[in-house]
Amino acid sequence: MRRLTLACACCTAVLLACTSSGKPSAADTTAANATPPAAATPAPPPPLALSALEGKWTLKVMNMAGDSALLTETLNATGTDTGWTLVRGGGKRPPDKARPSVSGDSLMVDVGPTSSILRKGVNVATHSVLRMQDGNLVGMATAHYLGTKTADSVRQFKLEATRGP
């Protein structure tokens, strides 16, 4: 009888040990299924408003490496989507009409077609996308040279604009 009692006690102990380690507790299940804390993501930049861009901007047009300025232009911005102009050629030419639009934190500016300063005798239309960064506008422009059928009829430029006086 003692052997049977001892055997039952051992079996009971083994069953209890297997049950407690084989089946997680409610606290263990909750901890295992919990979503890990999300990594801190920076807040998205606030939407850009045309009214915040009003004024005169000095626009530096550079090669994509950004190591040399090809042109310096003046972007005259109003607080609305009308009246924007781009002055090229040091003011020796009439200003070109610029067509701005905003989407989220991006400013898009379309100019032209107009005569190119970089390619004499060729018309160009540009599409620029800029974003505010540390009080300046930075981005890139895509120039479409019209009437040319060569491989370099489309060119991209790096842009940096600083607010002028």
Span of 38-42, 62-66, 113-117, 118-122 with lowest mean pLDDT:
38-42
pLDDT at 11 over 50: no
Of the chain, the percentage scoring pLDDT greater than 90 comes to 58
Confidence band for 143, pLDDT divided at 50, 70 and 90:
very high
pLDDT at 129 over 90: yes
Q: pLDDT of 64-104, one tens digit each?
A: 988 889 999 999 999 999 999 999 877 788 999 999 999 99
pLDDT at res. 37: 66
Residue-wise over 118-139: b if at least 16 C-beta within 10 A, else e? eeeeeebebebebebeeeebeb
Domain 50-163: CATH class, spelled out = mainly beta
Tokens, residue 137: 């506008």
For 21-52, the pLDDT digits (tens) are: 555 555 555 555 666 666 788 887 778 999 99
At 162, is the secondary structure helix, strand, or coil? strand
Residue 44 makes CB contacts below 8 A (sequence gap 6+) with 105
Cβ 83 vs Cβ 99: under 8 Å: no
Can you tell me whether residue 44 is helix, strand or coil?
coil
Domains in the chain: boundaries: 2-33, 50-163
Instruction: Say how far apart CA 5 and CA 82 lie, in whole Å.
Output: 96
Split at pLDDT 50, 70, 90, the class of 15 is very low
> For residues 31-49, b (16+ Cβ closer than 10 Å) or e, as one string?
eeeeeeeeeeeeeeeeebe
DSSP state of 148: -
C-alpha 161/C-alpha 141 separation (Å) is 12
